[in-house]
């Protein structure tokens, strides 16, 4: 501006021409326009310079919660405001509740300040861009802006402190009354009004105090605490309790025809009364499950049922196998009984149900049975059963074994399943092979005579079922009604018939008989697709009959009486031909020697070295007729 004034003064001192005069006038016009313009632009120039110099700082005259941060960088402003937050967290706040003083550590209620948010808002004050920010910039010289600092606290934590203070300081809280059953008598008190902290107001006071850097001791307001229970609630509960302990309650289980009588004293002893303060208010009457369990304990043995394994039901008429489902143990349910007893004791009938629940699972469940897949008839064998006592014995053994299940991998022994054949078990005497000869019926071994026929029938079911033969013994002499070389005899403890279930599916043994005519043994299972056939060799290795001498005083000394001429023995080989599912063949030969019936000859004892022979007399005697031959056929009784 000075330079301009100096230029105007210099032109007036020189002589002018017309041209110079015109130039001087142009200069004066420019100066008169430029000077005011420069004066108007000066504040903008200062603004631009100030904005450039102070870029990234909080504008002047800006504070956060009363703390001046104008002119500070973002980091410096953050440090200043963070220090303010730390100060708020460090100062204890003191409150008074009903005369008791409590200090509150702000960190226990999660006091935090939004420092970053407040600093960011401070930085953005008086913004508006390079042009639009000019007026706010000007206002910054005369107007102060205070940015609020948002303080956060945990409302639940404050409420927890208020609850603790109330419980500690209030000596006369609301009394909800009391109800109890003592030795069968109903005792009760009615509710009464007390004091409590005004929680909404106290909460607001605590929250406000915590935002203040300077904190004074503050008393929290109290209000009346009205009990949620009413006198009518107590009266109704007392009426119900009197009904509960006024008479015995009968609990039934109609399926098992069971009844349990619960005495009033037992009900009273198990009764629990609780005053529930939620909405709507109520008296909660229940029965102690533990006490009910003690009442039920003496009755468990009579009322509860053990677990029942799944089983197989075989219909021999249709040859179909169905699964009989398993059952878990049935046990008394103290919780369920408690609910039912409460219902019954508060009703007019005083009767209810005995409640049971599932207990222990059985060892063999329905799912276990189903996992074996289909079970069907694998093999069967039938033999004819002549006789009376022997047929009775066969039927008795068949009934004992009928329905037996042989699990995969298990061995089954007829002797183990049946045990000794005794008259105490019902077995009768009949013919039996004793010492290689058919004998009947004074020997103890004759008790159960004839059961070898069941053993033979059983063994053939094993044979054609393709199951593993562990032990069997054919008769010592051949009996024509049995398959030659493919039969079995019995004794105790041996001979025995034993097989192993070498399949992956149980074997179910079913026995049936057609009156006194036949006995049939069936094996149900699944042997994996094996099939078995029988091959028998010609007889070979013939042997002569054994000779047995027996004393008979009726036979004339020096002579013989032929009782049985006997028969030859021989050997025979039976081969089980097993065809596997893949077509391969396994041959299992078994050779047995039948020794034949003995040749039995009777002699006078003296000719057998027993005593001395009688002295001959002159009396004429008639010698026994030794020309007659008596032949007996050995039979399995």
Answer whether residue 624 is part of any domain: no
Q: Among residues 334, 349, 369, which one ends one of the domains?
A: 369
Question: C-alpha 224: how far from its chain's center?
Answer: 52
Name the nearest CA neighbour of 428 among 441, 419, 413.
Answer: 441
- 361 and 388 housed in the same domain: no
Contacts of 196 (CB under 8 A, 6+ apart): 166, 170, 173, 174, 222, 223, 224, 225
What's the pTM? 0.59
- Taking 80 as the threshold, does the pLDDT of residue 436 lie above it? no
Q: Are 324 and 311 in contact (CB under 8 A)?
A: yes
* Domain annotation covers residue 74: yes
Statement to judge: residues 394 and 365 lie in one domain:
no
Dump pLDDT digits (tens) for 286-313.
999 999 999 999 999 999 999 999 999 9
Residues 464 and 539 grouped into a single domain: yes
pLDDT tens digits, one per residue of 166-177: 999 999 998 888
How many other CB atoms are there within 10 angstroms of residue 396's CB atom? 18
pLDDT digits (tens, 9 = 90+) for 44-91: 554 444 444 454 688 888 999 889 888 898 899 899 999 999 999 999
Residue 623's pLDDT band, with cuts at 50, 70 and 90, is very low
Given a contact cutoff of 8 angstroms between Cβ atoms, the answer to whether 230 and 177 are in contact is no
Residues 424 and 565 in one domain: yes
Query: Taking a C-beta distance cutoff of 8 angstroms, is the pair 492, 608 a contact?
Result: no
Q: Across the chain, what does the average pLDDT equal?
A: 86
On whether residue 564 sits in a domain, the answer given is yes
In a domain? residue 329:
yes
Residue 205 lies in a domain: no
- CA 315/CA 526 separation, integer angstroms: 16
As a dihedral over the C-alpha atoms of residue 179, residue 180, residue 181, residue 185, rounded to 10 degrees, the angle is -60
Looking at the structure of the chain, the number of domains it has is 4
Question: pLDDT category, 126, cuts 50, 70, 90?
Answer: low
3-state secondary structure 246-259: CCCEEEEECCCCEE
How far apart CA 233 and CA 607 sit, in angstroms, is: 116
Predicted pLDDT at 317? 93
Q: Which two tokens stand for residue 354?
A: 């005995």
| pLDDT band at residue 201 under the 50/70/90 scheme | very high
* Residue 591: count of CB within 10 angstroms of its CB: 13
Range of the domain at 597: 372-608
**Helix H or strand E encompassing 336:** helix 334-345
Alpha helices by DSSP H, listed for 261-331, are: 264-270, 289-296, 300-303
Q: Alpha-carbon distance 238 to 377, whole Å?
A: 69
Which alpha helices (H) appear in 108-230, and where do they start and end? 115-123, 129-132, 134-139, 155-169, 199-210
* Residue 336 and residue 266 share a domain: yes
Q: Strand 249-253 to strand 351-353: parallel, antiparallel, or no bridges (unpaired)?
A: parallel
The closest alpha carbon to 589, from 530, 536, 531, 524, belongs to 536
Query: Rounded to whole angstroms, how far apart are CA atoms 276 and 241?
Result: 16
Name the residue with tokens 């063949």. 585
Which phi and psi angles does 370 have, rounded to 5°?
Answer: -65, -30
- Domain of 248, CATH number, reads 3.10.20
Q: CA angle, 615 as apex, 610 and 619 as ends, to 5°?
A: 130
**SS3 call for 47:** helix
**Residue 379: its pLDDT value, please?**
97
Confidence of residue 24 (pLDDT cuts 50, 70, 90): low
Looking at the structure, tell me whether residues 406 and 363 fall in a common domain: no
For residue 103, is pLDDT > 70? yes
Q: What percent of the chain has pLDDT over 70?
A: 83
397 and 350 co-located in one domain: no
Q: Give the integer Cα–Cα distance in Å for 3 and 35.
A: 11
Same domain assignment for residues 393 and 536: yes
Contact 398, 383 (CB under 8 A): no
Q: What is the pLDDT of residues 593-607, one digit of tens each?
A: 999 888 899 999 998
H, E, C per residue of 80-123: HHHHHHHHHHHCCEEEEECCEEEEECHHHHCCEECHHHHHHHHH
Domain stop point among 369, 390, 418: 369
Residue 450 has pLDDT above 90, yes or no: no
* Encoded tokens for 244: 């509960």
CB 572 within 8 A of CB 485: yes
309 in a domain, yes or no? yes
Domain membership flag for residue 628: no
Do both 361 and 435 map to the same domain?
Answer: no
The predicted structure's pLDDT at residue 463: 98
pLDDT of 516 > 80? The answer is: yes
CA gap 432, 152 in Å, rounded: 104
Q: In which band, very low, low, confident or very high, does the pLDDT at 377 lie, cut at 50, 70 and 90?
A: very high
**Distance between CA atoms of residues 118 and 147, nearest Å:** 7
Mean pLDDT of 514-530: 94
Q: Do 254 and 187 sit in the same domain of this protein?
A: no
- 216, part of any domain: no
Residues 74 and 145 in one domain: yes
pLDDT at 443 over 80: no
pLDDT (0 to 100) of residue 402: 97
Q: What average pLDDT does range 19-25 have in this prediction?
A: 63
- Same domain? For 45 and 66 the reply is no
């Amino acid at each position: 501006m000075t330079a301009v004034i100096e230029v105007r003064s210099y032109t007036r001192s020189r002589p002018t021409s017309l041209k110079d005069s015109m130039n001087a006038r142009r200069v004066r016009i420019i100066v008169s326009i430029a000077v005011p313009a420069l004066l108007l632009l000066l504040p903008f120039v200062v603004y631009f310079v100030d904005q450039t110099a102070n870029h990234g700082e909080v504008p002047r005259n800006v504070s956060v919660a009363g703390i001046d941060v104008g002119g500070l960088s973002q980091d410096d402003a953050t440090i200043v405001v963070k220090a303010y937050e730390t100060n708020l967290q460090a100062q204890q706040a003191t409150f008074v509740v009903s005369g008791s003083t409590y200090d509150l550590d702000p960190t226990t209620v999660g006091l935090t300040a939004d420092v970053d948010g407040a600093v960011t808002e401070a930085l953005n004050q008086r913004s508006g861009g390079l042009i639009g920010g000019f007026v706010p910039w000007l206002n910054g010289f005369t107007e102060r802006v205070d940015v609020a600092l948002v303080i956060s606290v945990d409302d639940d934590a404050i409420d927890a402190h208020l609850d603790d203070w109330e419980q500690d300081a209030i000596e006369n809280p609301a009394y909800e009354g009391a109800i109890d059953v003592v030795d069968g008598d109903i005792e009760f008190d009615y509710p009464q009004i007390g004091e409590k902290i005004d929680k909404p107001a106290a909460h607001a006071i605590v929250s406000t105090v915590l935002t203040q850097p300077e904190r004074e001791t503050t008393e929290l307001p109290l209000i009346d605490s009205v009990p949620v229970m009413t006198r009518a609630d107590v009266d109704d509960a007392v009426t119900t309790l009197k009904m509960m302990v006024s008479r015995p309650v009968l609990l039934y289980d109609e399926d098992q025809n069971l009844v349990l009588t619960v005495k009033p004293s037992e009900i009273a002893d198990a009764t629990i009364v609780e005053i529930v303060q939620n909405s709507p208010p109520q008296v909660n009457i229940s029965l102690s499950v533990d006490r009910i369990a003690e009442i039920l304990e003496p009755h468990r043995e009579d009322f509860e049922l053990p677990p029942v394994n799944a089983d197989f039901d075989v219909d021999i008429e249709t040859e179909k196998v169905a699964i009989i489902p398993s059952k878990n143990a049935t046990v008394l349910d103290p919780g369920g009984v408690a609910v039912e007893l409460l219902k019954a004791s508060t009703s007019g009938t005083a009767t209810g149900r005995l409640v049971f629940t599932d207990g222990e699972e059985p060892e063999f469940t329905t799912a276990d049975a189903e996992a074996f897949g289909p079970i069907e008839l694998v093999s069967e064998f039938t033999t004819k059963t002549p006789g009376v006592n022997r047929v009775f014995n066969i039927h008795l053994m068949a009934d004992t074994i009928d329905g037996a299940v042989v699990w995969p991998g298990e061995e089954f022994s007829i002797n183990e399943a049946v045990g000794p054949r005794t008259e105490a078990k019902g077995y009768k005497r009949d013919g039996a092979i004793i010492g290689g000869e058919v004998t009947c019926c004074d020997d103890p071994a004759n008790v159960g005579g004839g059961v070898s026929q069941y053993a033979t029938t059983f063994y053939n079911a094993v044979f054609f079922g393709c199951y593993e033969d562990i032990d069997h013994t054919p008769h010592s002499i051949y009996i024509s009604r049995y398959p030659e070389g493919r039969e079995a005899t019995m004794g105790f403890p041996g001979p025995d018939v034993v097989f192993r279930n070498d399949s992956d599916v149980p074997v179910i043994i079913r026995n049936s008989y057609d009156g006194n005519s036949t006995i049939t043994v069936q094996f149900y299972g699944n042997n994996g697709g094996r099939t078995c056939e029988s091959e028998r060799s010609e007889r070979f290795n013939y042997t002569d009959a054994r000779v047995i001498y027996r004393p008979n005083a009726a036979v004339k000394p020096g002579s013989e009486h032929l009782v049985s001429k006997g028969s030859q023995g021989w050997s025979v080989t039976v081969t089980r031909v097993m065809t596997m599912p893949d077509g391969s063949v396994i041959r299992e030969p078994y050779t047995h020697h039948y020794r034949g019936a003995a040749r039995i000859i009777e002699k006078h004892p003296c000719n057998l070295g027993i005593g001395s022979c009688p002295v001959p007399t002159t009396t004429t005697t008639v010698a026994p007729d030794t020309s007659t031959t008596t032949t007996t056929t050995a039979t399995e009784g």
